[in-house]
A and B are shown apart, each in its own frame.
Chain A
């Protein structure tokens, strides 16, 4: 793992990030296998995974950059576009849909004034749909950044968004 030369392009892991990665390296069989955690660190440090960040991860792990790109776009939890301060992720899988995820989504779109995939002008909220988050028992649900909000209702959403401002 070499991190020379790449810093110039504006992307470099912090010392802590690099240390975490190096530590993890010991437990992983190959650098390919380290791709997911490396992408997480990159996302945390660079905000989202744009081409520079992906190229950086590819260079650090010596994995072909197209592979990194393929993996990063496969998982919905990697952000390849810049997002607002709060990333609102609405589950639209089976259980949530049966209990009104569609309606929840429409309500959020109206309330935030954006469509799915968009970010509000003040860069506070980004609204996306995601696959099952394993919270079917408390559907419909959404995740904002790292927090689960369950058994959603219109009033509940009002309260939650109010609290996030």
Chain B
């Protein structure tokens, strides 16, 4: 700490702090324009000029660091004159068009001029005139308003690490734009530049001319897209969500957002939203009242229970619902219906990671912090294009790497994050397990393992050694394409880490043996000592915002709330006691088992909340068939999906913007969301629907609000945690020894000669699930899917950019537009899973994990040819 004097006031501040910040701490405001607390000092606008004793001329407070005995004056006639002069300079080029400028009312320049300077301009020479650039799909650029503070350029580089924007040309001719001054930003569209612009030079097309900032209501809430759980505020007016804003001090995202979060909000007010309950009369869905709709559902459910028993009903819920929704849903199914046939979207793969983690850490609650990622010294990122799937988690990785952390990236394609990597290992698709086992082998055989751990877990490590002995580095290189040297280097770096972090994604969890691979990665954590100590983490990424919550609330046949084991009488007893009603003992069915049950006629009714199997499952699959065979299908959704068309009753649900509750992100952090607008149309929050239904089913679950449910959840989960156990990892290490060999089995997949290309489906940056498709922003940036293909493959097939390719296999054929990119290795194709049409998913078949029954359909072997359009 140093002591300095500002305006005759003694101020204490940490050594090296910027003068602007020290003054602010002391309650003294120094005007700034180019300064931003998130950015490095720049000193471009000269508005923060102050007088510092013993220094010549006025000094910029935003670039001056405090030191002992500094004497500073921030207010004097001299400084006022200088500020006024600087503002007049800034205004030399700035049009005084505030009444028609979208920034009016929240413009920093406008505020400064009101406070310190005249809005009068003496400069009378010609000034450079710029045309308004409106060619970009989302961002309008009006350079005559730009004050050249370069906040946009700096945030793009320093915070986002994208470095897409630059200042080009020089002096008064300086302009802001992407490479070659192009009109189209063509970037990640995180919108940080728009958010940080102090004036109206960069504005969002989606918000433009919609409202003045003082007319909107601001509601803090949590993003509904991915598992990062970013905090933002919705600005609304008259029931319309107008834009998303952030505060750089708040949330795991610290003010940063991705394109989905920033620009993907307009699905909330999309005209296609379901606004009333619908029931099927003859073949058409007709609007009806809530009372009638719930009556019908309760009647049918009761009849089915009477005739076929409660286990003839099953329910599936999306990971986009709140904890309160999901908790009440599983309670409804278990008590009001009386079945454990409950599953969620986590079954598509996330359950693999979570089951493995629970296997290792036992009853302890799983938590991993994104801060640990940002502060790690070694990060091992496996099988995820993190920037596109979980952009803010990707940002943390970027920050760590920029700070000097060793980043090892292993994926089947060249990903964006690899730009920051010390090792970018492109492994052959399908060889992920060889790669992971190679790491384990290297750690053990080269003696990189934690010596203390060897003492404790000797048997475990010896066993592992025996298992990996059979696998040679030569075989690993053959399968993965990664040399022994590279694997050893990666294993060594990770083993030596003090704060080692493993991040893994869909390439592990949503693929063959996802559960076993997750366990293998956990083994790697255990033997290197990177599991329990502070700062270390293993983090499975999840692409729906509340998949963690879905599992923790108990929307799975194997889990009760708090991850209790639904198969254990003792665990059921704990919750039954709080619920005051017995949880059925019969084992429930997982998603694939539910669909099989339907085919076998065992399941008669299905209650689907927010999932769209008819629109997302491959049509050739039996599961798709099963949907047609149901006696009774209830769909509860925001939008009329393909599955809704098959339903007997459709219930309109409210979106995240219309309800209170909590989401739990992939860190295990439960965060509060708050209703920003009233429910759209006649829609209702999901929990209210379950509550109404349960009453008609004769088991009333009455809650005043979402908070009341949360209180009960807290009670239930606290109950779960009270059971206490010894060291869970020790337990795992002891018990897994027997099964270890099975966990390290590898199955090779071979492309059939007829279908030599491997097609992968996966998430992309601009879209996620079906919500983004109903949002104007993401649709404007990426209206359709493109098949990514390697240039050499394209060459061989005679395909050029803009062509369509014909993909074929035994399941059918489909035409898609191509994007030729050397980020894809030869022989591998990638298509965004988001787009329903063309239905590329139909080429895939649904695979089921033996251990966890996870059902995934993310890849297929196909033949590719150039599609010749008919004239």
List A residues at the B interface (Cβ < 8 Å).
Answer: 5, 51, 54-55, 64-67, 69-70, 73-76
Contacts and interface: CB of A to CB of B under 8 A. Distances in A.
Contact of B166 (A5, A70, A75): A70
B178 A66 contact: yes
A73 B179 contact: no
Nearest to A62: B419
Nearest to B168: A73
B163 A69 contact: no
A70 B150 CA distance: 12
B180 interface: yes
A67 B822 contact: no
16 contacts: A51-B180, A54-B179, A54-B180, A64-B163, A65-B179, A66-B178, A67-B163, A69-B166, A69-B168, A69-B179, A69-B181, A70-B167, A73-B168, A73-B169, A74-B169, A76-B170
B394 to A, nearest CB: 17
Given A5-B822, A51-B180, A66 B169 contact: no
Contacts of B163: 64, 66-67
Report, nearest first, the 10 A-B pairs whose CB atoms are least far apart. Answer: A64-B163, A70-B166, A66-B166, A73-B168, A66-B179, A65-B179, A51-B180, A74-B170, A73-B169, A70-B168
A64 B166 CA distance: 10
A76 B171 CA distance: 12
Nearest to B175: A73
Interface of B: 157, 163-170, 178-181, 822
Nearest to B187: A66
Nearest to B178: A66
Contacts of B170: 73-76
Contacts of A5: 822
Given A66-B163, A75-B170, 11 more contacts: A54-B179, A54-B180, A66-B164, A66-B178, A67-B166, A69-B166, A69-B180, A73-B169, A74-B168, A74-B169, A76-B170
Contacts of B169: 73-74
Contacts of B166: 66-67, 69-70
A76 B167 CA distance: 15
Nearest to B165: A66
Nearest to B163: A64
Contacts of B178: 66
Contacts of B165: 66
Most central of B167, B179, B181, B822 by chain A CB within 10 Å: B179
A61 to B, nearest CB: 13
A92 to B, nearest CB: 13
Contacts of B822: 5
A75 B165 CA distance: 18
Nearest to A64: B163
Contacts of A69: 166, 168, 179-181
A5 B791 CA distance: 11
Contacts of A70: 166-168
A51 B168 CA distance: 13
A69 B170 CA distance: 12
B557 to A, nearest CB: 49
A139 B157 CA distance: 42
A67 B180 CA distance: 10
Contacts of A67: 157, 163, 166
Most central of B165, B170, B178, B822 by chain A CB within 10 Å: B170
A79 to B, nearest CB: 14
Contacts of B164: 64, 66
B15 to A, nearest CB: 27
Most central of B157, B164, B180 by chain A CB within 10 Å: B180
Nearest to A63: B163
Most central of A5, A64, A76 by chain B CB within 10 Å: A64
A74 B175 CA distance: 11
B376 to A, nearest CB: 23
Most central of A54, A70, A76 by chain B CB within 10 Å: A70
A158 to B, nearest CB: 32
A76 B170 CA distance: 9
Contacts of A64: 157, 163-164
A117 B168 CA distance: 18
A130 B167 CA distance: 20
A74 B180 CA distance: 13
Most central of B165, B168, B181, B822 by chain A CB within 10 Å: B168
A67 B179 CA distance: 8
A133 to B, nearest CB: 16
Nearest to A75: B170
Contacts of B167: 70
A67 B167 CA distance: 8
A52 B486 CA distance: 33
A102 to B, nearest CB: 16
B654 to A, nearest CB: 42
Nearest to A65: B179
B738 to A, nearest CB: 49
A68 B165 CA distance: 11
Contacts of A51: 179-180
A46 to B, nearest CB: 15
A64 B168 CA distance: 14
Contacts of A74: 168-170
Nearest to A50: B180
A54 B168 CA distance: 13
Most central of A5, A51, A65, A66 by chain B CB within 10 Å: A66
Contacts of A54: 179-180
